[in-house]
Structures are given as C-alpha cells and as structure tokens.
Amino acid sequence: MNIYSLLRKSRIILASVVLILTFILFIDLYEWIPNHLFDTILFLQFVPSVLHFLAVFSLATAGGFLIVLILTVLTGRLYCSVICPLGILQDVINKIARWKSKKKRFFKYKKPHPVLRYTFLGIVTLAIIFGAGWIVTWLDPYSIAGRTFTYLFKPLTVWLNNGVIAPVLQNFEIYSVYHVNLMMPYLLPVLLSFGTIVAISYFAWKRGRLFCNTICPVGTLLGVASRFSFLKVQFDESTCTRCGKCAAVCKSECIDIRNYSVDNSRCVTCFNCLDVCPETALSLRPAKSSTKKPVDFKEVTMPKKEKSNTTDENRRKLLVTGLALLTGSRIYALKKNKMPESQKDLLLNNKEYPVTPPGAGNIKRFNDICTGCSLCVAACPTGVLQPSLTHYGLEGFMQPHMDYATYFCNFDCNKCGEVCPTGAILPLPLEEKQITQMGKAVFVKQNCVVYTDETVCGACSEHCPTKAVTMVPYKDGLRIPEVNQSICIGCGACEYPCPVPQPYKAIYVNGNAEQQLADKPDFGKKQEIDHEEDFPF
C-alpha cells in the first residue's frame, strides 16, 4: 500500500466518523450525547465558528475557523472532504452514482465558474457584515446538512424506532429503547429542506462537487486560501502518459490533463487522483512558484444594490405574504360562525414580538447570528422550539422560536444554549435561565372560559413554574387567573394548556424584544424537619 492509498483511506475513515457523529447529534432520540460533546464535535464547522467568534470574541471557544484556515494553507481544502457534513454527504451520493453508472470515465475536466463563485461569496460576506443572517441560512453548508438531518432524517429515525426497533427489543424485555414522540414542524420548512437537498443531490449525482465549487461560499473562500497552500497536487510531465485516470476520478472536475494542470482552488484534497495514477505522475508536494494569473476580483460581478427602499419593502411584503399562504393548517384560521355562542366575541391575541429561546439576548442579535441549522430544534426535549415562518419576518425565516402551540419550555432545561454552535443562543446556567424573561404572560379576561362559560378551569395556574399566574376570587365561588408579570419568565406553561383555541388564547406570552431578568419568585419558607425527633409511630 503506497502513501497516497493510505491517505485516501484515512480520509474516508475520518470523514465517515465526522458524518456519523454529526448525524447522531441531530437524531439523538434519548439524549445520550452529553452537552459538552456538541461543541467538541462541531468546533471546526466553519461558518458557525466564525459567527460564534463574532458573538463572544474568544478563540478558545470559537477558534475552529482559524484552525481550518491554517489547515487549508498547509494542505488545501481538506475541510471540504473530511469535516463538512454536506460535502461528505455529496461524496456518498456520488459514490452510489458511480456504482450504478456503466461509464468507465465518470468525470472529466470542466471549466470553472468564477463569476458565480465570487458572487455568492460576496453575498454571504456582506450578509455577515450587515447582519443579514437569513441569507447565510440558505448558503451555509453545515446548516443545510443540519436541516436535512432534523426535518427529513430524524422523522424517519423516529418512525423506525417506534415501529420496528422498540417493539422488537421490548419483546426481549429490553426497555432502554422506547417509544419517542416527535413534534413535527411546519410543513413548509420540511418541503424547503427536501427541495434543497434534492437539488444538491442531483448536482452530486451528475457532477460530483459542482455545488461546492459553484455555489458554496465556504468552498470558494477556502479555494482562495488553497491557492497559497504549501502542499499542492502537481503533475510530473516527464512521467505522465495522459491516460486520463486521474481526471476520471476527480469529483471536482479540476484536472486538465491536456495542460498538465490542477485547479487547486477547486481541488478538495480527496487523494483519489494520487491513488489511482499508475505512473505516480501526480504527487502532493510543496508548491512551486505559480505562473498562473491571480484572481482578478474586478472582473467578478458583485451583487447590485437595490434601486430603492420602496422596491425592497414591496418584495419583502410579497415574500412574507406568500409564505403565510403556504403554512397550511399550522396558521390558525378560526371562523367565528363555527364557534360557540359564548366564544363569538373572543379577542385576537396581540403578540407584539415572537418569543426567542432563552439566551438569545435580543431579537436583532439573534437574527443576525443564527443560521437556522436547527440543532436546537432537534435537541429540544419538549419540541417547543420550532422553525419560524413569518414570526420574525423575512430576516428570521427558518430560525427557531418558542412555539407554545406545540408545547412549553421546560423550567429545568437549558439545552438549547448548550448545543448552539454559533452563539446565537448563549449558554445559561440553569439558575440564570430560570429567571430569564423571554416574554410576559398576558391575560385576556374576555377569552377565559371562567368568564365566557362560568366554569372552573385554572389550567394556566397549575402549570406555571414560578407561580406568576395565580387564581383569585371572581364570583359565585369561581376563581379567575391573575398575572404577576414581574416574576413571569414567558415559558408558555400557561399558554399551552389553555383550553381556548389559537389564536384566541385566554392567556398568551408576548415576547420581549430584549430578554430581561425576572424577579425571583417567593415560594415561601421551607418547612424545617427535626431529624432527631422520634417517629410518631
């Protein structure tokens, strides 16, 4: 076995481990993965690491992108072949395509598309600078892979677990694997995630790493860095017979055997060409002084500015309206003529702001940093975190929000902040999380069944963990809710069980534009027990 064969096999093994570990993070049904391992596994993901660094300015906790850049300057785009989950997924798809294909030569050299490549890179760079996180959401390869795992693979895993694995193991009295409830998201994110991965899969099936070398901004940026890499794949013209085997296995389609050249900006350092060359005419060695013309960024077409703010606003309104029409049954459209007489005068819930996850800080900061990778959605044990549609507007499309129609936030849980790779949701100690005010509960007396039906309820008060909602005397022995907003944390434990249907809840949470600290609730003095006293029986 030669050194290049060993490198190729090592690359395949490492990439497989990275893909499996990343996949497990998103489909961890039983929460077996400790929270601290999330940061360890995702530390080198490029875009999340950059955004995390911008949020905390700490290389110790968010310096993965710097390691990737150093690795690229040394060896080329090894990140794309070993660390990027979307890149590894494309390799798997292309491998299947080559197995099924009858072609002897699957790939051949293709010209690059520099205008497209640098345009997408420019768009993402400007988006990060000006805080347009929603653009990064759709071009970051890690986030695309994350949404694919969350909205497509996790439901399949839950179905397999509930329908096959758990029943079979329980027949053998093995109960460590059990039935798991899946909180399904809106239909639109599922369809968009499916459409995105299908398109990328088609590119991978037909053209290998076409997406990585045409659209992906991370691939383009690392391609620029790889032009200056110390080690490069190079030809030895004296021994090359132009058999074409190297070009036939180059999934980046960047080997030009006619000119004995390799486009290192597109090469993903997979070592396939080095391993297959019968004359060892290709080798990985220190780069010679390059005679190639450097990239002329003046020739690259950059995105044009919008003509006017009015045009931009009209487009946004059109997109938001379209998204709202596509949300289906999850956008509640109660018709008052179908409601009981006692509920025909209900007031619509007026939510000024959506509720962001605990640790998000403020909505603008959250929208700027979050890439919508959905890891927090996948990790949330209650399923209250769901991808947003129109909740944040276009800027926060697909970013998570607290959906109290699905469930409520567990008072003793802070997992979303522990797993977030970008720092959009900052980790909070449990004691601090329990007083972080994401929003404030608002009571609408006219909607309450105690008022409309003159019946006993109190579901909101029973579930409130801070006792911000209490029941006070109303009339004829009935009691009605009262809210103390100073100790309310906006967890939604009152909104979720309210029997009045959405969007006319008798109690709902209005999100804070900027999260605050609530007052600590007074649960009274704990009863002291004298352990020395004899038992009374």
CATH of the domain at 400: 3.30.70.20
pLDDT digits (tens, 9 = 90+) for 407-418: 999 999 999 999
Q: Do 214 and 341 sit in the same domain of this protein?
A: no
Q: Is residue 118 part of a domain?
A: no
Q: Do 208 and 338 sit in the same domain of this protein?
A: no
In total, how many domains does the chain have?
A: 2
Q: Which of 206, 229, 252 is the last residue of a domain?
A: 229
pLDDT at 336: 42
pLDDT at 133: 72
Q: Is residue 331 part of a domain?
A: yes
Distances (CA, A) of 462 to 207, 356, 449: 58, 24, 15
Q: Do 136 and 21 sit in the same domain of this protein?
A: yes
Q: Whole domain around residue 379: which residue ranges?
A: 309-515
Q: Is residue 130 part of a domain?
A: yes
Q: Do 340 and 461 sit in the same domain of this protein?
A: yes
pLDDT at 530: 54
Q: Is residue 209 part of a domain?
A: yes
Q: Do 22 and 170 sit in the same domain of this protein?
A: yes
Q: Is residue 72 part of a domain?
A: yes
pLDDT at 28: 93
pLDDT at 136: 85
Mention every residue, 6+ apart, whose C-beta is less than 8 A from residue 229. 72, 73, 74, 75, 76, 264, 287
Q: Is the peptide bond before 465 cis (omega within 30 degrees of 0)?
A: no
Q: Do 213 and 314 sit in the same domain of this protein?
A: no
Paired sense of beta strands 261-262 and 282-286, if any? unpaired
Residues forming beta bridges with residue 442, ordered by sequence position: 508
Q: Do 315 and 456 sit in the same domain of this protein?
A: yes
Q: Which of 181, 197, 229 is the last residue of a domain?
A: 229
Q: Do 189 and 334 sit in the same domain of this protein?
A: no
Q: Do 208 and 355 sit in the same domain of this protein?
A: no
pLDDT at 343: 60
Phi then psi for 389, rounded to 5 degrees? -110, -80
DSSP assigned state of 356: P
Q: Is residue 284 part of a domain?
A: no
Q: Is residue 526 part of a domain?
A: no
Crossing angle of helices 46-56 and 141-148, rounded to 10°: 110
**Cα separation, 349 vs 339, whole angstroms:** 16
pTM: 0.84
Q: What is the number of other CB atoms lying within 10 angstroms of the CB of residue 318? A: 10
H or E element: which one contains 74?
helix 64-75
Q: Do 213 and 319 sit in the same domain of this protein?
A: no
What SS3 string covers 197-247?
HHHHHHHHHHHCCCCCCCCCHHHHHHHHHHCCCCEEEEECCCCCCCCCHHH
Q: Which of 174, 201, 229 is the last residue of a domain?
A: 229
pLDDT-flagged residues of the chain (< 70): 1, 184-185, 288-344, 523-537
pLDDT at 376: 96
Q: Do 369 and 459 sit in the same domain of this protein?
A: yes
**Cα separation, 182 vs 334, whole angstroms:** 26
Q: Is residue 289 part of a domain?
A: no
